[in-house]
Structure 1
Amino acid sequence: MDTITLANSFATIVGLLVTFQSSKGGSDIVDFMEWLRENDNSNTAAIIENNTQLQNKLSTFMSQNHNEIMSQLSNLNDLMVSVASRMYGISGIASNFDDNYGLSDQALRILREFENSDGEYIWRLKSLSGAEYSIDASQNLEISEPRFIEDDLKIMTELNLLTCEITNQGYHRYRITRYAIEYLRATDKLITA
């Protein structure tokens, strides 16, 4: 399959999976395939049937708790809207789907700074003047909107771009995920295209 067909198939399957999960409240791959045929999506059912690896991955994904599935699909939507909102020409369309969970400019800048540093952690340390944020306690992060930093970190954690741990001393430390690196590369490609 060419790139356009693959992208279209992926978007179609994910979109139909969201609709199915929302309407059925969770089920398995057999029910999904039956639902596809009942709802005039035989072509999509055929794509899935002809790809054993895709069937296995969908089956594994659908075997999770329904709330976890919906959370992951929601996160995927938020990331797609966030990426699309930075693309020339399509940003206006994406803004109609933004439910305020897209990444802010500050959050995106923090992710980029973290990736470029090759650091292991972003630390949230308490000081007399409030909270300070640094990468591996050696490089202070530039926080342009201090009142929204906690919100940005929370959203990045919910989107699995960062993981958060609380140390025994009560400090928060955030680690970048592989998913965040892939997300940044995807946005870089879109910006330079």
Structure 2
Amino acid sequence: MDPLTAAGTFATIVGLLSSYKAERSGTELTEFTSWLKESHYESIANSIERHSLLSKELSALLATNHAILVERLSQLDSRIAHLASEFEGFGNLARLLNSKPMLSKQAVSILKQLVESGAEYFMEYKVYTGKPDEYPLIGGLGGRIKYDDRRFIKDDLESLLSAGLVRLEFGSKGSKKYFVTRAAAEFLQGT
């Protein structure tokens, strides 16, 4: 199969799987192929049924917990849009179609610092003296998150959260803790 056809087939199946999971929570391949046929994608459903390895992989995906699979599809969408935004001619299209914000250079830098430090998380430490807030790294090599533009630090942290690259928890006194996720490490391998 030529690369263009393979990329198109992958995108089509992932897109249809996303649409299916947005509508239904079925976990069986037969439910998915029935939905494809109802939605007038008979040729794709027939291809899936004829291709045993594809059927096996899709069955495994569909058997995944619904919430986890939806989150993975969302992360895949974000990563594809981020990657596409780097290619001439696709950037504007990716920004228009992607529901999640793109990551700024500062957001990617924050993520790299967290992952490369080996820290489990970093905390938000509010500084009320007019100086920038601090974000100490907890565990690993320690240190602090360095950032240049304090106007957009909250926006960058929100982008990382919405992309599933960090997880937010609150300490006993309401302090914010930003934990690294496995998706963050995987995301950075592709950058």
**Structure 2 length-normalised TM:** 0.75
Residues 1:126 and 2:126 aligned together: yes
2:100/2:162 contact within 8 Å kept: no
- 1:45–1:13 CA distance, 2 compared to 1 (3 A): farther
Paired-residue identity, %:
30
Q: Choose which of 63, 66, 69 in structure 2 pairs with 1:64.
A: 66
Please name the residue that 2:184 is paired with.
180
Deviations 1:142-171 (A, max 9, x none): 222222222222221222211122122322
* SS of equivalent to 2:119: coil
Please name the residue that 1:191 is paired with.
none
1:110 Cα deviation from its structure 2 partner = 0.8
Give the strand-richer structure, 1 or 2. 1
Q: Choose which of 26, 34, 37 in structure 1 pairs with 2:24.
A: 26
Task: State the superposition RMSD in angstroms.
Answer: 3.1
Q: Which runs of 5+ in 2 are unaligned?
A: none
How far apart in 1 are the matches of 2:182 and 2:4?
25
How far apart in 1 are the matches of 2:180 and 2:3?
28
Identify the range of structure 1 (2-11 vs 109-118) with the bigger mean alpha-carbon deviation.
2-11
* SS of equivalent to 2:63: helix
Aligned pairs for 1:1-193 (under 5 A) are 7-22=7-22, 25-28=23-26, 29=28, 30-38=30-38, 39-43=40-44, 45-47=46-48, 50-51=52-53, 52-61=55-64, 64=66, 72-88=72-88, 90-99=90-99, 101-129=101-129, 131-136=133-138, 138-186=142-190, 188=191
- Would you say how many aligned residue pairs link Structure 1 and Structure 2? 182
- 1:150–1:47 CA distance, 2 compared to 1 (3 A): same
Identify the range of structure 1 (131-140 vs 164-173) with the bigger mean alpha-carbon deviation.
131-140
- 1:163–1:2 CA distance, 2 compared to 1 (3 A): farther
**Structure 1 length-normalised TM:** 0.74
Q: Which runs of 5+ in 1 are unaligned?
A: 189-193
Deviations 1:2-48 (A, max 9, x none): 987765443221111233345xx215243320232352342454336
